[in-house]
């Protein structure tokens, strides 16, 4: 009987679905395991690159189930967002219809991959039963002062009349229409994530099972800096300017001050400047530049004509404006220490400003120090650790920077001119979008009462579905009178509804908790159950979410914690980022991607069939626009889903980028065919017994089997799926050899099926059934390795002396010291025996090298 994946796979997919095997009663007893793939945006068709992500999750889910855990593997849809709206504009399909259709297609695809989700807990963020709680959450945040309306410069696309998220701006242009994005100051809704900056930063230390890389990225994004705020008096305007510095120990070296051109005090400083008009023009120019342009322009500045007093040297220092000082960070003003800061140094060089050395390498004796008072910038002169020493600074001379910093801040605080300060790079989260397809922000603007929240009992604020989509006149919601006109719940007068919708990252910041009570229409979720099931035990998704989604989710979880709704602060105990699948695409010299059916190979080089022009092959992320996607349909039709699953996991370590190879797939296919082909052999039907007198072959196979159980288990635990599968291939090869020798392999074969199940679920279920297994293999238990059976009976040690083989001796396993010593002595006259585990370690006798190696 030959292997027909199609029939088998459909059969088992149907059976699993009918038996609702993946449905979990969240209040059932047992040790829980919450497995979660990041819920996808329903963009439609899935390719094998997406498959990697979900197959990985399914394999883990099945593994933990077999290990006896009550495993939950839910799935939902991040269903609001721009592409649905674009489809509506381009093709006249309603965003909802487009989304619902895509969801249906993706569900089918998941089923064909043999992925088991608990669909009873399915959710879609675009449905009122979900986004209602999004709105509720927003109101709670508003009540706590964590949601506020404020002015901010935002990315504005003039053609589409909307704000764009930073990630929707590509090279300064709108990713959708290509128009140049401009900065506009608008009133927007923000969530006060900065209130949680310290907790979000500190919490990273508790995430032991997160990739270091992601934690580092978050840490950099939060950008915690410790230092001090210091006031510098400016007599000319009868006030002072506050700066932030992380190096207060270098304050004696502050020879000038630089303000961001946008700093609010600038107009007062330059009011009587003779070239005021020119400076204002320069400021306007800098304002209009993006950060990138600003940096490319190089360092530029203008002298304001005014001076500040350095509070420690009491010298007058010039106040400059500089394009390299950012208004958004710190106080928008710096004390410039050109002797010890690269940027300040460059600026000082350019404008001929004083440079003073106040830090030197600490080389012990003063006389041995370099003649360091030269105005140069050198690495050692910027050191912040004990390798440096402060000079030219009366109050802190001779101290190392760490002590000097403490000392000088104490003095700053004593004098009342500043204080210790921790600042963050993190900014508040702008969540307003002038977009239709999103959660309406549940707020009202009343002519008499001002900003009024929609009362909770009026939720959800439903997104009207019958609105026209033209795409060129801004948010259709704003023109929908029925939606906009509302009654103020406070005074009963006329009110206007907020027509902005929420950033979809709000939707995804708490969905993992909603799965636990997905259909509760009384509350956001059941806290008791959520506290039982969360944090998520294993979260899987792409590295592209390293900052945004994961940071927002960590933030929102903390707000839920502070509301008393959950008793944990970190939503994801363990995080795994799978790598992308890439594949060769072909492009012309001009960089244009060419469809595969227009590519052929002539004389070993790819050319474009239609024009004959030469093409270059390039590995790229799978994408329709690059014509290099591998759709799973064909692959499954030809080889079956199990083959795709095994190949996808075998191709490379899962965290790495993997190059798809159509040829490589056949390896996985052959492997499964061999596994199938062994099954009907008569040897399988015999009963296995391990009586003495059995052939060595059976013992060896049994040993291999138990070693494989051990190996595969450990490798799955460590996410080493590729080598777990290679170990199964080895076992399969060993069983194949044993079958050829006519040995009874039934027991080993059943173990192989169990170990293989997470990777190739359909074929293993089928074979399990054929061999008379009880129930689903999915619900069978994971085999346990018997250490006694794993060990070799005898080992051969080779005695090497000075690299030369002196003899080989067979000893029992584990080897008795006396036995080995005797053997070694006989061959090499050795005195001492060092025992390893199974492998015999080095024996070293002075003057004589003896290397004992296990054979």
Q: How far is CA 321 from CA 276, 306, 336, 550, in A?
A: 13, 11, 11, 37
Main-chain dihedrals φ then ψ at residue 213, nearest 5 degrees: -60, -45
Contact characters 818-837, RNA, x per CB under 7 A = ------------------xx
Run of H or E including 188: strand 182-191
Under rule CB under 7 A, residue 183 binds RNA: no
Span 511-550, contacts to RNA by CB under 7 A? 547
Which residue's CB is nearer to RNA, number 93 or number 326?
Answer: 326
Which residue's CB is nearer to RNA, number 357 or number 518?
Answer: 357
- 616 contact partners, CB below 8 Å, separation of at least 6: 586, 587, 589, 606
- Chain-centroid distance of CA 669 in Å reads 32
Beta bridge partners of 538: 35
Run of H or E including 145: none
Return the SS3 of 449: coil
Span 672-711, contacts to RNA by CB under 7 A? 673-674
Span 259-278, contacts to RNA by CB under 7 A? 260
Q: How far is CA 612 from CA 383, 525, 590, in A?
A: 60, 61, 14
Beta bridge partners of 849: 844
Q: Are 66 and 758 in contact (CB under 8 A)?
A: yes
Q: Are 63 and 782 in contact (CB under 8 A)?
A: yes
Interatomic CA distance for residues 433 and 438, integer angstroms? 8
- Chain-centroid distance of CA 665 in Å reads 28
Which of these ranges, 95-103, 325-333, 479-487, 687-695, lies near RNA under the rule CB under 7 A? 325-333
Which residue in the set 240, 531, 722, 808 belongs to the binding site for RNA (CB under 7 A)? 722
Q: Are 648 and 739 in contact (CB under 8 A)?
A: no
- 633 contact partners, CB below 8 Å, separation of at least 6: 112
Which of these ranges, 105-113, 501-509, 816-824, 841-849, lies near RNA under the rule CB under 7 A? 841-849
Q: What is the DSSP string of 697-735?
A: HHHHHHHHHHHHHHHHHHHHHTT-HHHHHHHHHHHHHHH
- 501 contact partners, CB below 8 Å, separation of at least 6: 80, 432, 433, 435, 436, 437, 438, 439, 440, 441, 463, 475, 477
Which residue in the set 270, 325, 518, 534 belongs to the binding site for RNA (CB under 7 A)? 325
Span 224-253, contacts to RNA by CB under 7 A? 225, 227, 244-247
Q: How far is CA 842 from CA 12, 435, 799, 800, in A?
A: 53, 70, 10, 10
Run of H or E including 152: strand 147-157
* In the complex, minimum distance from the CB of residue 251 to RNA, in angstroms, rounded to a whole number: 10
Span 297-316, contacts to RNA by CB under 7 A? 297-299
Under rule CB under 7 A, residue 786 binds RNA: no
Which residue in the set 294, 587, 703, 706 belongs to the binding site for RNA (CB under 7 A)? 294
Which of these ranges, 434-442, 487-495, 532-540, 657-665, lies near RNA under the rule CB under 7 A? 657-665
Under rule CB under 7 A, residue 841 binds RNA: yes
Plot region of 298 (φ>0 → left; ψ -120 to 50 → alpha; else → beta) = left
Which of these ranges, 33-41, 464-472, 531-539, 666-674, lies near RNA under the rule CB under 7 A? 666-674
Which residue's CB is nearer to RNA, number 295 or number 592?
Answer: 295
* In the complex, minimum distance from the CB of residue 203 to RNA, in angstroms, rounded to a whole number: 19
* In the complex, minimum distance from the CB of residue 109 to RNA, in angstroms, rounded to a whole number: 23
* In the complex, minimum distance from the CB of residue 448 to RNA, in angstroms, rounded to a whole number: 41
Which residue in the set 249, 341, 644, 765 belongs to the binding site for RNA (CB under 7 A)? 341
* In the complex, minimum distance from the CB of residue 611 to RNA, in angstroms, rounded to a whole number: 23
Which residue's CB is nearer to RNA, number 510 or number 627?
Answer: 627
By CB under 7 A, the count of residues binding RNA is 79
Interatomic CA distance for residues 590 and 628, integer angstroms? 18
Which residue in the set 216, 277, 284, 686 belongs to the binding site for RNA (CB under 7 A)? 216
Structure tokens at 137: 């959450």
Main-chain dihedrals φ then ψ at residue 181, nearest 5 degrees: -80, 135
Span 193-212, contacts to RNA by CB under 7 A? 212
Interatomic CA distance for residues 495 and 489, integer angstroms? 9
Which residue's CB is nearer to RNA, number 258 or number 441?
Answer: 258
Contact characters 613-652, RNA, x per CB under 7 A = -------------------------------------xxx
Under rule CB under 7 A, residue 853 binds RNA: yes
Under rule CB under 7 A, residue 601 binds RNA: no
Which residue's CB is nearer to RNA, number 489 or number 667?
Answer: 667
Span 398-437, contacts to RNA by CB under 7 A? 423, 425
Contact characters 543-572, RNA, x per CB under 7 A = ----x-------------------------
Under rule CB under 7 A, residue 326 binds RNA: yes
Under rule CB under 7 A, residue 847 binds RNA: no
Which residue in the set 184, 656, 685, 832 belongs to the binding site for RNA (CB under 7 A)? 656
Which of these ranges, 64-72, 268-276, 317-325, 441-449, lies near RNA under the rule CB under 7 A? 317-325
Which residue in the set 487, 659, 686, 816 belongs to the binding site for RNA (CB under 7 A)? 659
* In the complex, minimum distance from the CB of residue 667 to RNA, in angstroms, rounded to a whole number: 2
Structure tokens at 633: 């349909």
Under rule CB under 7 A, residue 356 binds RNA: no
* In the complex, minimum distance from the CB of residue 337 to RNA, in angstroms, rounded to a whole number: 7
Which residue in the set 175, 584, 598, 720 belongs to the binding site for RNA (CB under 7 A)? 720
Under rule CB under 7 A, residue 664 binds RNA: yes
Under rule CB under 7 A, residue 803 binds RNA: yes
Which of these ranges, 186-194, 319-327, 396-404, 476-484, lies near RNA under the rule CB under 7 A? 319-327
Sheet holding 443-446, edge to edge: 450-453, 443-446, 494-497, 485-487
Interatomic CA distance for residues 797 and 610, integer angstroms? 66
Which residue in the set 42, 311, 332, 460 belongs to the binding site for RNA (CB under 7 A)? 332
Q: How far is CA 569 from CA 16, 38, 218, 275, 661, in A?
A: 36, 19, 16, 55, 42
Which residue's CB is nearer to RNA, number 737 or number 769?
Answer: 737
Beta bridge partners of 309: 316
Which residue in the set 60, 729, 739, 743 belongs to the binding site for RNA (CB under 7 A)? 729
Which residue in the set 354, 406, 730, 792 belongs to the binding site for RNA (CB under 7 A)? 730
How many helices (H) and strands (E) in the chain? 26, 37
Q: Are 596 and 571 in contact (CB under 8 A)?
A: no
Span 734-773, contacts to RNA by CB under 7 A? 736
Which residue in the set 151, 213, 685, 804 belongs to the binding site for RNA (CB under 7 A)? 213
Which residue's CB is nearer to RNA, number 458 or number 842?
Answer: 842
């Amino acid at each position: 009987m030959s292997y027909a994946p199609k029939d088998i796979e459909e059969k088992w997919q149907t059976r699993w679905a009918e038996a609702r095997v993946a449905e979990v009663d969240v209040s059932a007893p047992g040790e829980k395991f919450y497995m979660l793939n990041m819920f996808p945006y329903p963009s439609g068709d899935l390719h094998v690159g997406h498959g990697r992500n979900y197959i990985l999750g399914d394999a883990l889910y099945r593994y933990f189930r077999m290990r006896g855990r009550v495993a939950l593997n839910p799935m939902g849809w991040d269903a609001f967002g721009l592409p649905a709206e674009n489809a509506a504009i381009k093709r006249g399909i309603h965003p909802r219809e487009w989304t619902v259709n895509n969801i249906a297609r993706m569900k089918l695809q998941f089923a064909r991959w043999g992925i088991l989700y608990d669909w009873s807990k399915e959710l879609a963020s675009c449905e009122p039963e979900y986004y209602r709680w999004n709105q509720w959450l927003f109101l709670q945040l508003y009540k706590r002062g964590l949601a506020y309306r404020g002015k901010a410069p935002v990315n504005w696309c003039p053609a589409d009349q909307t704000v764009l998220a930073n990630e929707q701006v590509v090279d300064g242009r709108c990713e959708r229409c290509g128009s140049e994005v401009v900065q506009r100051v608008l009133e927007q809704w923000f969530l006060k994530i900065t209130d949680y900056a310290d907790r979000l930063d500190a919490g990273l230390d508790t995430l032991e099972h997160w990739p270091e890389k992601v934690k580092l990225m978050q840490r950099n994004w939060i950008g915690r800096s410790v230092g001090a705020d210091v006031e510098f008096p400016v007599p000319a305007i009868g006030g002072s300017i506050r700066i932030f510095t992380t190096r207060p120990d270098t304050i004696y070296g502050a020879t000038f001050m630089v303000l961001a051109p946008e700093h609010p005090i600038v107009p007062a400083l330059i009011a009587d400047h003779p070239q005021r008009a020119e400076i204002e023009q320069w400021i306007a120019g800098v304002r209009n530049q993006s950060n990138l342009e600003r940096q490319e322009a190089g360092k530029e500045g203008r002298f304001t004509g005014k001076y500040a007093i350095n509070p420690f040297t009491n010298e007058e220092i010039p106040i400059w404006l500089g394009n390299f000082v950012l208004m958004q960070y710190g106080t928008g003003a710096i004390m410039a220490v050109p002797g010890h800061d690269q940027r300040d140094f460059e600026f000082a060089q350019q404008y001929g400003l004083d440079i003073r050395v106040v830090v030197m390498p600490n080389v012990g004796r003063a006389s041995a120090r370099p003649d360091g008072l030269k105005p140069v910038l050198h690495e050692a002169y910027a050191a912040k650790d004990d390798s440096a020493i402060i000079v030219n600074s009366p109050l802190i001379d001779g101290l190392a920077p760490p002590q000097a910093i403490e000392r000088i801040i104490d003095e700053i605080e004593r004098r009342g001119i500043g204080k210790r300060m921790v600042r963050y790079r993190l900014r508040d989260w702008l969540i307003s979008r002038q977009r239709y397809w999103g959660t309406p922000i549940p707020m009202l603007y009343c002519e008499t009462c001002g900003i009024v929240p929609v009362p909770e009992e009026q939720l959800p604020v439903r997104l009207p579905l019958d609105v026209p989509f033209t795409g060129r006149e801004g948010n259709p919601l704003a023109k929908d009178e029925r939606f906009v006109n509302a009654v103020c719940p406070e005074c009963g007068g006329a009110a206007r509804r907020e027509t902005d919708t929420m950033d979809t990252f709000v939707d995804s910041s708490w969905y993992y908790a909603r799965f636990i009570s997905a259909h509760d229409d009384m509350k956001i979720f059941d806290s008791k159950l959520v506290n039982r099931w969360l944090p998520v035990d294993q979260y899987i998704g792409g590295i592209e979410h390293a900052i945004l989604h994961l940071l927002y989710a960590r933030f929102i979880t903390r707000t839920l914690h502070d509301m008393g709704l959950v008793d944990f602060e970190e939503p994801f105990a363990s995080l795994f980022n799978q790598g992308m699948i890439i594949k060769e695409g072909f492009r012309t010299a001009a960089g244009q991607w060419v469809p595969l059916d227009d590519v052929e190979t002539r004389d070993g080089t790819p050319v474009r069939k239609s024009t004959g022009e030469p093409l270059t092959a390039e590995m790229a992320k799978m994408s329709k626009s690059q014509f290099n996607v591998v759709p799973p349909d064909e692959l499954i039709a030809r080889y079956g889903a199990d083959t795709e699953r095994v190949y996808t996991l075998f191709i490379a370590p899962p965290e790495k980028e993997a190059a798809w190879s159509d040829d490589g797939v056949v390896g996985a296919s052959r492997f499964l065919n061999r596994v199938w082909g062994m099954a009907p052999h008569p040897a399988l039907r015999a009963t296995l017994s391990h009586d003495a007198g059995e052939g060595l072959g059976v013992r060896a196979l049994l040993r291999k089997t138990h070693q494989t159980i051990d190996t595969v288990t450990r490798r799955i635990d460590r996410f080493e799926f590729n080598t777990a599968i290679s170990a199964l291939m080895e076992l399969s090869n060993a069983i194949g050899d044993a079958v050829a020798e006519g040995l009874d392999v039934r027991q080993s074969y059943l173990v192989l099926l169990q170990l293989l199940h997470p990777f190739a679920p359909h074929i293993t279920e089928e074979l399990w059934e054929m061999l008379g297994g009880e129930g689903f293999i999915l619900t069978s238990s994971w085999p346990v390795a018997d250490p006694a059976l794993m060990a070799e009976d005898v080992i051969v040690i080779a005695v090497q002396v000075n690299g030369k083989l002196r003899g080989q001796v067979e000893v029992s396993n584990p080897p008795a010291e006396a036995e080995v010593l005797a053997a070694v002595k006989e061959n090499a006259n050795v005195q001492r025996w060092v025992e390893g585990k199974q492998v015999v370690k080095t024996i070293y006798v002075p003057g004589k090298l003896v290397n004992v190696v296990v054979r």
